[in-house]
Amino acid sequence: MILLVTGLSGFVAGSVVAQANKDWEVHGISRSEVPGLPIEIHAHHFDLLEKEKVAALFNEIKPDAVIHTAAIANIDICQNDPELGKRINVEITETIVELCKSLGSKLVFCSTDSVFDGINGHYTETDEPHPINVYADTKVKAEQMVLAASPKNVVARLALVMGLPVYGKGNSFLADMLDKSSRQEPIKFPANEIRTPIDVVTLGAALVELAGNDFGGIVHLSGNSRLTRYEMGLQIAESVGIPLNLVVSTDSNSMPGRAPRANDASMDNSLACRILKTPMLSLTEGLDLTLNFKK
């Protein structure tokens, strides 16, 4: 079975390829080389906006499944440059959707808890998305294309992802915490945002499982702990030995020049717990797993 992973140099993709490598022939796409990748991973380096190169690779390897992690996930970059957000998050997804459809490949698309407006919280898969920023809007548009293309496709809405990069640098707030604490710098966490964080190891395993099982549709991949990002910061700091006075409470929606954030983007993971063998974990369980993960 052949698995293709986009965004190979990213935080989530590193965990995916590390865990898929046992059971799949794994191919990955990134613009730049990823240090430390095992030789069994087939890395392809080009820009996903180059449609001809994307199509050529698909037609060459004919993947059984594709996990599409590549995106501009920075909410403020998308807000300040909507056209860039659309090109990367929507148009590239459209290309991949069409290629998967033509080859019969299953597509697992990584979406986000940010598709919700944050008014109610504890969202289930049947709750209607209400994006409040450009980034979320691009993800909703991409979700719709993925679901319309095939009933076997999966939209995996990811909660806030916690942990350390498995390969490459990625975008890890835990790595950023450790770096700032080593310099005794304040570490800001919004107290207004309620989330259900998932560790990157559990997430990678869940995405690989979704690529290989029969589930199709929307699923929420989130942890078992529901808490504010500030509470999360304090718990992580205590667990890894960061002085608690370095963790500073902020309000993400009172900062000038930033896109609006959902105050309560917590998600219900009941469906994931039913359909997956991969267990969803609490914050402390997930932190322990990612800190002790062996490739």
Write out the two tokens for 31: 């613009």
Task: Check residue 145 and give its pLDDT.
Answer: 98
Residues 260/190, Cβ–Cβ less than 8 Å:
no
Strand positions, DSSP E, the chain: 2-6, 25-30, 42-45, 65-68, 106-112, 154-158, 161-162, 187-190, 194-195, 198-199, 217-221, 227-228, 247-250
Which domains does the chain carry? Answer: 2-163+196-225+266-282 (3.40.50.720)
Reference 8, options 168, 175, 202; nearest CA is: 168
pLDDT at 135: 98
As a whole number of angstroms, the distance between CA 107 and CA 65 comes to 6
pTM of the entire predicted model: 0.96
The pLDDT of residue 171: 80
Burial class (CB in 10 A: 0-12, 13-18, 19+), 67: buried
**Each residue's pLDDT expressed in tens, for the chain with a length of 295 residues:** 999 999 999 999 999 999 998 899 999 999 989 988 999 999 999 999 999 999 999 999 999 999 999 999 999 999 999 999 999 999 999 999 999 999 999 999 999 999 999 999 999 999 999 999 999 999 999 999 999 999 999 999 999 999 999 987 778 999 999 999 999 999 999 999 999 999 999 999 999 999 999 999 999 999 999 999 999 999 999 999 999 999 999 999 988 889 999 999 999 999 999 999 999 999 999 999 999 998 7
What's the confidence (pLDDT) of residue 294? 85
- Which tokens belong to 81? 């440059």
